Amino acid sequence: MRLFLDTTVAVLAIVTAVAAAPRTRSDAQRNALPLATAGDTAAIPSWDIQSSAKITQDLVSLSKSGAVSSTSAWHHAPLSRCTVMGCLIEAGVYNDSDLFFSDHLEAVDRTQFQVPWLYRSEFSIASSSSSSDNTSSTHYLLETNGITSRADIYLNGQQVADKVAQSGAYGGHIYDVTSAILSGSGKENDSSNAIVVRAYPTNYLQDFGVGFVDWNPYPPDNGTGVWRDINLRKTGAVAIEAFSVVTNGTNGTVTIQATVRNLDKAGVNFVANAVIARDNASPGLGATQSTTSSPSTQLGPGQTTRITLTATVDSPAIWWPRQWGDQPLYNVQLTVSTSSGTPSSSVVKSDTATKSFGFRIITATVSSADDIVFSINGKPFQVLGGGYTPDVFLRWDAARFEAHARYTLDMGLNTIRLEGKMEQPDLYDIADRLGLMVLPGWECCDKWEAWSYNDDLPKPTAIWSDADYATANASMRHEAAMQQSHPSLLGFLVGSDYWPDDRATAIYTTALADAGWQSPIVSSAAKTGYSKALGPGGMKMPGPYDWVPPNYWYDITDPATVDDNVRYGAAFGFGSEQGPGGGTPTLSSLKKFLSTADLDDLWRAPNKGLYHMSTAASSFHNRTIFNTALWQRYGAPNSLDDYLLKTQMADYEATRAEFEGFAANWGLAGAINTDASSTKRPATGVIYWMLNGAWPALHWALFDYYLHPAGAYYGVKAALGENRLEHVAYDYVRRSAVLINRSQNQSGVRMVRAELINAADGAVISNITTSTKERTTISTPNSSRVVLNNIQGIATLKDVGLLRLTLLDGQSSSANVISRSVYWLSGSGVDTLDWDDSNWYYTPVSKYASFQSLDKLPAANVTATRQPAANGTAGTTVLLENHSSVPAIFVSLNLVDAAGADVTPVKWSDNYVTLFPHEALALTVQELAPALGIKGVTRGVAVQVSGKNVAKATLAL
C-alpha cells in the first residue's frame, strides 16, 4: 500500500531539488477512471515517462501499484497521450519555441531515443456502488489504438501484451484484463492499479510509424510512444468488439453490424438493441428516429457471434459536403444486455457503444484515360484539397485542428488528404460537422510501402515479413473501424506512391469490407501500377512540388487527348499531391523561428540549403527554383521586406492559377462525366502539396504554423473562396475568361466584365463585357465554360498590365458583384515552359515573364477607415479607398493586438487586393479564436495596411 502524503512530497522535492509540482493526492486517486456502469470507457489520463536505460526494475514489479516510491526520477505528463518528445515538452524538459528556433532541433540528443522508453501510470476505478451496475460478471477490457513503434504492456504485475502483438502506430487491440484489474488490490472499488508500457524505438524504414519523408526534420524520437489513448472499458459478460453502421446510400435504410463476445466462463443469453437518434449537437436532445432489437441469443463461454440489426429512418436528412448543403448527423447507440435464462429474469446492460453517421452515398469511376471521378449523392464532385500533416510531435489539439478545417473551407477547398496521418477520432467528428471531405490512406517511402517492386524505397528497408502483414491487418482493421461510419470519408488510398502487393491488397480490402467501409477504395495515389483486385486508381503524381509559373496549369492543347507524359501535373485528371511549392510566412511569423542570420540568408543567399525547408537529403532543401524565378520575374530584392513582399506576390499568383486551372478545366466543353469509357480528360481533382506544415516551415503550406494566412492562402481563396462558388477565372494560355460554377443550385443570367489597364499610369487599354461582346452568359451548376476569348489588348501589352475580371449577377452594370479579381500580366507574355526537360518535381522555365517595372510604380494614396458593420455581418469592416489615378497593388490588411502581434486564427473576406484607380473595397475580418475556444489569443485592436506601392499605415479600431 502506498502512502503519498503532502509532506513526503515536499521533503523529497527539497532534497532532490526537482521542481516537481507538489502532489496532494496519490496518482491513483488523481487518476480515477470514471467507470460507473457496464459500457463506460475512460482513457488512462496521465503518464510518467522515463528512458528504459535509467530504470533498472523489471516490468512485472514496476507495474505493481506503489512500486515507485517517488516519481521524481520520472517526467510527468498530465496527458492521456503523447509521444516521448510530446511528453517531454509537456513535462518542461524541452520547449517547442526553442526547439523550432533556427536549427536548435539539431541539438537534441537523438541517441537517447534508440532505447525503449517506459510509460507508467497509477489509477483507480471510480465504480458505481449500486449493485445493479456491478454484476458478478464484470469484465475489464484494455483498448490500445496504436503505440509507436511497438510495445510490451504490463498491468498490476501481469503481462497483457508483447511487442509482437502490440505493433505499429495504428495497431489497435482489445485485451481482456479482468483478472489483472481484480488482482490489483483485491477489490474493485478504490483499487490502486498500475500500468507500464515499454515503447520500442522507431525506425521509419523498419517499423510501422507515422513518418514525414522529406517534409521536415524528423522528430528526435521518430514519434515513439503512446501517441493515442489507451482506454479501459468496463463490461458485463458480453462485450461489443467491432461495430459498424452502414446506410447504403440515402434512402433511410441503416444496417448495424457488431461482433460480440461472451467473456464469461459460463453460457449467457443476450439481446442487442439499437437506438437511432438525430444528433442535434446537444447531447440528449436528439429526437429518436428508430429502434431495433435482436432476438435473445445464446452464447457459449468465450464464444463470439456477429449480429445484424436493420432499421429505417423515415425521410432521412441527407448529408452534403459544405459547398453543396447541410451536414445532418445521426447517432446509433448499440446496447447488449444479458439475462440469466428465463424470459422474465432481470435484464442487465452488459455493454454499449455509440457511433455517429450521416446519409450520403459516395462512388467513383475511373475513365479509360485513367482518371478518377468521385460522385457524392449522385453528383460528380471535383476534389479540391490540401495534404494535411499533424504536428511534428503528433500533438493533437481539437480546437487547433478545427481552425485548420475552417481555413480549408474558407479558402474554398473541400477536402484534406491524410497520407498515413490518421490523427485522432475527433478529426472525423469535426470534418463531419463542418462538411469537409477526408481522404485518408497509407504513407509512402518507408516500411508501409516495402514492396519488392518499389524502386524508390530507401535502403535498407526490409520487405514485409508475415508479422508485418499481421501488423498491416490490425492497422487497417483499427482505422477502418474508427472511420467507417463518418460521412466525410471520401475514400481510402491503400497505397500512396506505390500500390500494395496482392497479399496486402487482400488484407486491406477484406478488413475494410468487414468494417462496413462505404466509400471508394483506391489502389494508390500514383500511376506507378496497381493490383489486379483493385484496378487502376485514376490518380496521378508527376509533380510539380516546386515553383512553376501560372500558365503551367493551362498549357494543354486539347483536353480530350492530353498525355500524362507530356503535360504532367497540368490541370487535367486527378493530381493527388502537387503544387508550386509556395507558402513563405510573413516577417511576423518568420521572426518567431529564424535568427537574424537566417533572415538574412533568405534574400542574401538565395541558393543556400535552409534548415526550415525540407531536409538536407531532399530536393527541396534550398529555394533555388523559387528564388531564380523571383529574381527574374520580380527583380532582385533590395531588402528583406522587399523579398518577402515579392514572395507573397509569387505565392498568390501561383496558388490562384493552380486552383483556377483545375476549376476551369472541370466542366469545360461538357467534359465531366462519370462514363468509364470516356477518353476525355477533365480536371477531376487536385490535392495541393501541402495544406499546412508539421512545424514552422518555409514552404509547402497554405498557411503557416502560427495560423497566419498570407499570399498562398489568399491566392487559393481568390480562386475558390467559400463565397465564390461562382467565379470568373483568367486562362493565361488562351487569354480568356472562364465562368466557373461549383454550386449545385445556383444558375441564371450573368455578366462578365474584363477591364485591362496599364499598371504604371492606370490608363485604360480595354473594357469589354459579355453582354455586348459575346452571347448572353448563363451560369449553370457544376460546370465551367469560356465566356470571353482572347481578351483584347493582352497580346499586345507593352509593359505590365492589370486585368480586372468581374462577375455580375445579371445583365445590368449595377447588378451585384459575385466575384472580382485582379491579375498582373507581363508585357513580355507568359513564361516559356520547357516541358521536355520536366522532372518529377518541376518543369523548368526557359524565359521568364517580367514584372520588374512594378518596382518603379508611383505610390498610390490609399486610406483605410473603419466602417459600421453591415446588417447581420459579424466582425469588423475596413474600407480601403484608392484616391489615386494609379492602381494600388497587392494591398494587405493584418489584424494585430495591442502589442502589434498578429491575431490568429483570423478570417478576412478578401486580402492582398489590387485596387484600380479610384476604386474602393470593403473587407471584413473575424477573429476565430473565441468561437473555437482557443485560449490565450489576444484580441485585435488595430489593422496594419501595406502594399507594393502603398505606404505602411496602421488603423486603430
Ligand X SMILES: *[C@@H]1O[C@H](CO)[C@@H](O)[C@H](O)[C@H]1NC(C)=O
**CA dihedral of 695, 699, 700, 705, whole degrees rounded to 10:** 30
Contact 744, 781 (CB under 8 A): yes
Query: Is there binding between residue 52 and ligand X (CB under 6 A)?
Result: no
Shortest Å, Cβ 623 to ligand X: 8
Shortest Å, Cβ 582 to ligand X: 17
C-alpha cell at 253: 435504410
Which span sits near ligand X by CB under 6 A: 249-257, 576-584, 722-730, 871-879?
A: 249-257
Shortest Å, Cβ 248 to ligand X: 4
Which alpha helices (H) appear in 548-636, and where do they start and end?
A: 564-567, 587-593, 596-604, 624-634
Per the listing, cell 496519490 goes with 26
- CA-to-CA distance for 191 and 150, rounded, in angstroms? 28
**Catalytic residue among 133, 423, 497, 660, which?**
497
Which among 902, 913, 904 has a CA at the least distance from the CA of 944? 902
In the complex, residue closest to ligand X by CB: 204
Nearer to ligand X, 6 or 834 (CB): 834
Q: Among this protein's residues, is 27 annotated catalytic?
A: no
Which span sits near ligand X by CB under 6 A: 233-241, 244-252, 363-371, 757-765?
A: 244-252
Shortest Å, Cβ 918 to ligand X: 45
Q: Is the dihedral of CA 502, 503, 509, 510 positive or negative?
A: positive
- CA-to-CA distance for 122 and 116, rounded, in angstroms? 20
**Catalytic residue among 264, 351, 577, 831, which?**
577
Nearer to ligand X, 132 or 510 (CB): 510
Shortest Å, Cβ 681 to ligand X: 30
- CA-to-CA distance for 348 and 336, rounded, in angstroms? 9
Shortest Å, Cβ 289 to ligand X: 13
Pairing of strands 817-825, 801-808: antiparallel
Nearer to ligand X, 252 or 844 (CB): 252
The greatest distance separating any two alpha carbons of the chain, rounded to the nearest whole angstrom, comes to 94
Nearer to ligand X, 332 or 691 (CB): 332
Shortest Å, Cβ 605 to ligand X: 9
Nearer to ligand X, 284 or 460 (CB): 460
Question: In the window 823-882, what residues touch ligand X (CB under 6 A)?
Answer: none
- CA-to-CA distance for 73 and 82, rounded, in angstroms? 19
Nearer to ligand X, 247 or 926 (CB): 247
Query: Is there binding between residue 252 and ligand X (CB under 6 A)?
Result: yes
**From candidates 312, 747, 789, 863, binder to ligand X by CB under 6 A:** 312
Shortest Å, Cβ 683 to ligand X: 29
- CA-to-CA distance for 274 and 248, rounded, in angstroms? 17
Nearer to ligand X, 443 or 731 (CB): 443
Per the listing, cell 492559377 goes with 657
Which span sits near ligand X by CB under 6 A: 106-114, 362-370, 685-693, 929-937?
A: 106-114
Query: Is there binding between residue 607 and ligand X (CB under 6 A)?
Result: yes
Question: At CA 854, angle to CA 852 and CA 857, rounded to 5?
Answer: 140
Binding mask 618-657 for ligand X (x = CB under 6 A): -x-xx-x---------------------------------
Query: Is there binding between residue 251 and ligand X (CB under 6 A)?
Result: yes
Question: In the window 195-224, what residues touch ligand X (CB under 6 A)?
Answer: 201, 203-205, 218, 222
Shortest Å, Cβ 112 to ligand X: 8
Per the listing, cell 486603430 goes with 956
C-alpha cell at 744: 449545385
Q: Residues 6 or more apart from 737 whose CB is under 8 A from it?
A: 728, 729, 730, 731, 752, 754, 786, 787, 788, 791, 805
Shortest Å, Cβ 218 to ligand X: 6
Task: Write b or e for each residue in 891-910: b if 16 or more Cβ atoms lie within 10 A of its Cβ, otherwise e.
Answer: bbbbbbeeeeebbbbbbbbb
Size of interface with ligand X, in residues (CB under 6 A): 21
Q: Is the dihedral of CA 527, 529, 531, 536 positive or negative?
A: positive
Question: Per DSSP, what are the bridge partners of residue 357?
Answer: 330
**Ordered DSSP codes for 839-895:** -SS---EEE----GGGGGPPPP-EEEEEEPPPTT--SEEEEEEE-SSS-EEEEEEEE
Q: Residues 6 or more apart from 565 whose CB is under 8 A from it?
A: none
Query: Is there binding between residue 248 and ligand X (CB under 6 A)?
Result: yes
Query: Is there binding between residue 308 and ligand X (CB under 6 A)?
Result: no
- CA-to-CA distance for 263 and 247, rounded, in angstroms? 30
Shortest Å, Cβ 547 to ligand X: 13
Nearer to ligand X, 248 or 865 (CB): 248
Q: Among this protein's residues, is 40 annotated catalytic?
A: no
Which among 585, 578, 500, 494 has a CA at the least distance from the CA of 543? 578
**From candidates 25, 54, 110, 187, binder to ligand X by CB under 6 A:** 110
Contact 451, 462 (CB under 8 A): no
Which span sits near ligand X by CB under 6 A: 107-115, 422-430, 634-642, 799-807?
A: 107-115
Residue type, 129: S
Rg of the chain in Å (alpha carbons):
30
Contact 399, 933 (CB under 8 A): yes
Which span sits near ligand X by CB under 6 A: 247-255, 382-390, 490-498, 912-920?
A: 247-255
- CA-to-CA distance for 365 and 295, rounded, in angstroms? 40
Which span sits near ligand X by CB under 6 A: 110-118, 294-302, 534-542, 907-915?
A: 110-118
Nearer to ligand X, 222 or 473 (CB): 222
Shortest Å, Cβ 619 to ligand X: 4
Nearer to ligand X, 114 or 861 (CB): 114
Which span sits near ligand X by CB under 6 A: 55-63, 245-253, 378-386, 733-741?
A: 245-253
Nearer to ligand X, 211 or 441 (CB): 211
Binding mask 113-152 for ligand X (x = CB under 6 A): xx--------------------------------------
Nearer to ligand X, 51 or 339 (CB): 51
Query: Is there binding between residue 187 and ligand X (CB under 6 A)?
Result: no
Question: In the window 395-434, what residues touch ligand X (CB under 6 A)?
Answer: none
Q: Residues 6 or more apart from 202 whose CB is under 8 A from it?
A: 148, 149, 209, 221, 222, 223, 224
Would you tell me which residues interact with ligand X (CB under 6 A)?
A: 110, 113-114, 201, 203-205, 218, 222, 248-249, 251-253, 312, 607, 609, 619, 621-622, 624
Which residues carry out catalysis?
497, 577
